[in-house]
Amino acid sequence: MKTILLITLLSLTAGFAFGHGDIELGPNKGHNLEFSTNETMHGEVTEKDGKLFIAVLDKDMKPVALAAQEITATAGTRDKPVKIEVTKDASAFSFTAPKAGEWIILQYKETADAKAIVARLHYDTKVCAPCGNPEWRCACPPKK
């Protein structure tokens, strides 16, 4: 009985200790995604009025003008993935936010014929108590 109680206690403690991922926030307090294999291109995801916006940033976290870049987005469940319509203007990609709790799979291409870089975002809208942000862009420092 003591062993079961100890295992349960340690499991709960580990869950709280590692509850937050190591989320890197961008210059606009959005969630940063890696859009390159060498950390030279990033995507900062922000939200406004039920839409998600992805600004492409260079290695110095400065905005990159959009020209030939492309993003495709998929959400939903593994059994029923749903392709999301993405629009682009000179400064950002945008699309309607998926349902809370869904994963968003993004495929970023620098040019139409470039190899896609895949990035994933768990759109967890529950509010983080310590920082007050949604979990998908929690500003709490990583727990050690």
pLDDT tens digits, 68-122: 999 999 998 889 999 999 999 999 999 999 999 999 999 999 999 999 999 999 9
Amino acid (1-letter code) at residue 52: L
Entry field: residues in the chain: 144
Residue of 57, 66, 70 whose CA lies nearest to 28: 57
114-141 mean pLDDT: 93
Looking at the structure of the chain, the number of domains it has is: 1
In a domain, 11, yes or no: no
Residues ≥6 apart with Cβ < 8 Å to 52: 45, 46, 94, 95, 96, 97, 104
Asked whether residue 73 is domain-assigned, the answer is: yes
Structural domain contains residue 14: no
On whether residue 40 sits in a domain, the answer given is: yes
What does pTM read for this prediction? 0.81
Residue 8 lies in a domain: no
Q: Examine residue 103 and state whether it is found in any structural domain, yes or no.
A: yes
- Residue 122: inside a domain: yes
Q: How far apart are CA 120 and CA 81, in angstroms?
A: 14
Reply yes or no on whether the pLDDT at 11 is more than 70. Answer: no
Which range is least confidently modeled, 1-5, 6-10, 112-116, 118-122? 6-10
What does the pLDDT average to over 47-70?
A: 96
* Domain extent at residue 75: 22-137
49-79 burial, b if ≥16 CB within 10 A, otherwise e? eeebbbbbbeeeeebbebeebbbebebbeee
Phi, psi angle pair for 136, to nearest 5°: -70, -15
Is residue 105 one of the residues assigned to a domain? Answer: yes
Q: Which CATH number belongs to the domain containing residue 64 in this structure?
A: 2.60.40
